[in-house]
Amino acid sequence: MARRRWLIAVSALAALLGTAVWSAGPDAALALVSARGAAAPVAQVPVLPERTRISYGGPAGVAFAVYVGLERGYFDEANIDVDVENVDVASITPNVATGQLDVGHGPSSPGLFNALSRGLPIRAILDGSHLVPNGRSHAIVARQDLYDSGQLRGVEGLRGRRVALNSISGANTIELDLALRHVGLTLDDVDVVQIGFVDQAVALANGSIDAAGTLEPFIGRLVERGVAQPIRYVNQDYPDHQVSFPMIGPRLIERPDVTRAFAVAYLRAARDYERARQYGENVEQVAAALAKYTGQDAAQVAAAFRDGGMTGIDPDGHVNVESLQFDIQWYRDHGLAERDLSAASFVDPQYADYAVSVLGPFR
């Protein structure tokens, strides 16, 4: 009986301490968890005191870590509701700057860098995706009939042909340019049109385009449907290219508590994604989460993971500043960026660093 009273007293004290610490804020709670030695990452994640809604916008089907986090409940556990919105690339920057979006999932683009050079308060906070060296995540694909006839088996065959890109003045354009330069061509030798990843299959099938720059899991679906075949993986032309990144504007810059909680949930999901990509862990579950939001077949997505076809997401959330600086210079050289800009001034690593301090080392 005495032992039972002792246990009840200890439980009551623990509950009291927990309430007091959380009222002092999530950082204090994390410190207590660390001091106790109860180091399970799930027990350490910050939970916002009030349910908070975040709008997350970007091109359809590319916010992989967000999709995994939604399906695995990581944002829910942080007391965050994430509304995913499909937004074209050109609209991301103004929507983030004006607060129409809390987080924008965007690529490096002239519009973004020109806005930054005019002083708009936007910050890249996490790795959305990057090209894994020697990977097969991003490719130029040729229309099936042109491929079968032998007319278009390599990048050199793109001269005079219509090529679709998700954005005609974004990161995909840089990758296409570098691929063309390997065979002595330039962007002036092709007819580039803008068609979103999810709509490229229809354009290829009806013959309105000859080729497209796309990524997995869309590549696998195009091949499976007999619509197109990859003719070059651009990972080899621009390894470690910082393809996309979540970026925040004034609304979340002024709410670091919300942004930290979001970053932890995001990085938990990114690490699940990377464990599937690097080590084959829980591939089916992660693939099913992506398939729900990309409209692709889950088995095809799982196959892309196993075949080295998925884009990378840094498990520590770091944004590749050197890659962004290269892109800025490319846009400057092509008359698309108004003035020089330091990529380091745009990247804010504090949220990724915070998430790593909570979750610990990857693996």
* Predicted local confidence at residue 8, as pLDDT: 31
What are the structure tokens assigned to 161, written together?
């042909």
Does 90 share its domain with 118? yes
Does 106 share its domain with 149? no
Does 255 share its domain with 124? yes
Tell me: pLDDT of 129 over 50.
yes
Residue 12 lies in a domain: no
Does 323 share its domain with 174? no
Residue 8 lies in a domain: no
* Predicted local confidence at residue 90, as pLDDT: 86
Q: Which CATH number fits the domain that encloses residue 175?
A: 3.40.190.10
* Predicted local confidence at residue 17, as pLDDT: 33
The string of pLDDT tens digits covering residues 62-85 is: 999 999 999 999 999 999 999 999
Q: What confidence tier does 40 reach under pLDDT thresholds 50, 70, 90?
A: very low
- The domain in which residue 292 lies consists of 52-129+242-359
Does 219 share its domain with 77? no
Does 111 share its domain with 58? yes
Residue 212 lies in a domain: yes
Tell me: pLDDT of 154 over 90.
yes
Does 207 share its domain with 268? no
* Predicted local confidence at residue 121, as pLDDT: 92
Does 251 share its domain with 346? yes
Q: What percent of the chain has pLDDT over 90?
A: 76
Of 26-30, 72-76, 272-276, 277-281, the one with minimum mean pLDDT is 26-30
Provide CB contacts within 8 A for 49, sequence distance 6+: 22, 79
Q: What is the mean pLDDT of residues 81-91?
A: 93
Q: What confidence tier does 27 reach under pLDDT thresholds 50, 70, 90?
A: very low
User: Which of 171, 202, 236 is where one domain is finished?
Assistant: 236
CA pair distance 354, 363, nearest whole angstrom: 17
Does 249 share its domain with 277? yes
Does 142 share its domain with 214? yes
Tell me: pLDDT of 36 over 80.
no
Q: What is the DSSP string of 143-192?
A: EHHHHHTTS-SSGGGGTT-EEEES-TTSHHHHHHHHHHHTTT--GGGSEE
pTM over 0.95: no
Classify residue 50 by burial, with Cβ atoms within 10 Å: 0-12, 13-18, 19+: exposed
CA pair distance 214, 202, nearest whole angstrom: 13
The DSSP letter of residue 61 is T
Does 120 share its domain with 66? yes
Residue 110 lies in a domain: yes
* Alpha-helix residue ranges (DSSP H) falling in 2-136: 2-23, 26-36, 41-44, 64-71, 74-77, 89-97, 110-117
Q: What is the mean pLDDT of residues 310-327?
A: 97
Residue 232 lies in a domain: yes
CB 104 within 8 A of CB 86: no
CA neighbours within 13 Å on the CB side: how many for 44?
A: 23
Per the structure, the count of domains in the chain is: 2
CB 304 within 8 A of CB 220: yes
